[in-house]
Homo-oligomer: A and B are copies of this chain.
Amino acid sequence: MNMLPTATAAEVKALRALNTRGERQRQGRYLAEGDHLCGEAIREGQAISLLVQTGREEQFARHLHSGLPVQVLSAKAFSQISDTRTPQGIAALCRLPADAGPNGLGYRVVALNGVQDPGNVGTILRTMDAAGFTGLLLDRQSADPYSPKALRAAMGAAFRLPVCQCDSLADQLREMDGYDIIAGSLEGASFYQRGPSGQRVCLLIGSEGGGLSPDVLALATQRLRLPMPGRAESLNAAVAASIMMYDFVRVWEQP
């Protein structure tokens, strides 16, 4: 196993740069870090150009069996490319998937407007993948689904769901014909008193602080709020999105 090539300083630097969104876009690649995510990336057929790992080869033997090229990093170099405090010592270098475009998201869409926390974006992807939602639309004010934190929270869902990132969410929504666009808002009727939805649904989620921007909100066919009979005045954005998604699951499940 000592025959595995070692990454050069320049290669480590290029990997490290992938912690920023701009550099992921520029290089057209992202890093899926950790044993679980690497396994999911391989299983889901992501375009992986390289596995990088620290010297503890035996631990990751099952990934090596995948026949992918491998480079070895020192523990110190790995900690530089890693987003976590205690890295597991393995990461897969993957090609950023082509943008799905607004017409490639299927008929059960979640659209994010300024959801800046990467953990929330990842958690929303994870719930979408469980609930049977088919595609994620998000603006550039929302966190990148291919950031390390978002990938971690998504638990592999980012490999399975099509994603469309756009400059103007309002413009993209206008291109989506025949969707019932349901805005999760702090105002409006109770989410549980909403009217029936057609087959095509787009659930709009805004930031915890700012909510949905006026141009996006104006495109909603229904503006609904989750009731808060308790004392808290807001919910975590990923929690609110998940509650709404699952209420659709409940309706879809009905005979």
A230 and B133 contact, CB distance less than 8 A? yes
**Contact A126-B236, Cβ < 8 Å, known A192-B250, A243-B243, A250-B247:** yes
Encode contact with B along A27-43: 1 for CB under 8 Å, 0 otherwise: 00000000000000000
B123 and A232 contact, CB distance less than 8 A? no
**Which single residue of chain B is at the shortest CB-CB distance from A153?**
B236
A229 at the interface (CB under 8 A from B): yes
A228 and B160 contact, CB distance less than 8 A? no
A190 at the interface (CB under 8 A from B): yes
- Please report which residues of chain A, range 201-255, place their CB below 8 angstroms from some CB of chain B when the two chains form the complex: 226-236, 238-239, 242-243, 246-247, 249-250, 252-254
B252 and A131 contact, CB distance less than 8 A? no
Nearest chain B CB to A119 CB, angstrom units? 8
B132 and A229 contact, CB distance less than 8 A? yes
A128 at the interface (CB under 8 A from B): yes
Encode contact with B along A146-167: 1 for CB under 8 Å, 0 otherwise: 0000000101110010000000
In-complex Cβ contact of A234 among B128, B155, B160, B252 (8 A): B155
Interfacial chain B residues near A132, Cβ < 8 Å = 228-230
Nearest chain B CB to A113 CB, angstrom units? 20
A127 and B229 contact, CB distance less than 8 A? no
A129 at the interface (CB under 8 A from B): yes
Whole-angstrom CA separation of A60 from B206 in the bound complex: 29
**Contact A128-B230, Cβ < 8 Å, known A239-B242, A243-B242:** yes
In-complex Cβ contact of A239 among B156, B230, B234, B238 (8 A): B238
Interfacial chain B residues near A247, Cβ < 8 Å = 246-247, 250
Interfacial chain B residues near A230, Cβ < 8 Å = 128-133
B232 and A249 contact, CB distance less than 8 A? no
Whole-angstrom CA separation of A238 from B119 in the bound complex: 13
Whole-angstrom CA separation of A252 from B230 in the bound complex: 12
Nearest chain B CB to A165 CB, angstrom units? 21
Interfacial chain B residues near A119, Cβ < 8 Å = 119
A226 and B246 contact, CB distance less than 8 A? yes
Residues on A close to B: CB < 8 A? 119, 123, 126-133, 153, 155-157, 160, 190, 192, 226-236, 238-239, 242-243, 246-247, 249-250, 252-254
Q: Which 3 A/B pairs are nearest by Cβ-Cβ distance?
A: A129-B232, A130-B232, A132-B229
Beyond contacts A123-B239, A127-B236, A153-B236: 17 other A-B pairs, Cβ-Cβ < 8 A, are A119-B119, A126-B232, A126-B239, A127-B239, A130-B230, A130-B233, A130-B235, A131-B230, A132-B230, A155-B232, A155-B234, A156-B232, A157-B232, A192-B254, A238-B239, A242-B243, A243-B243
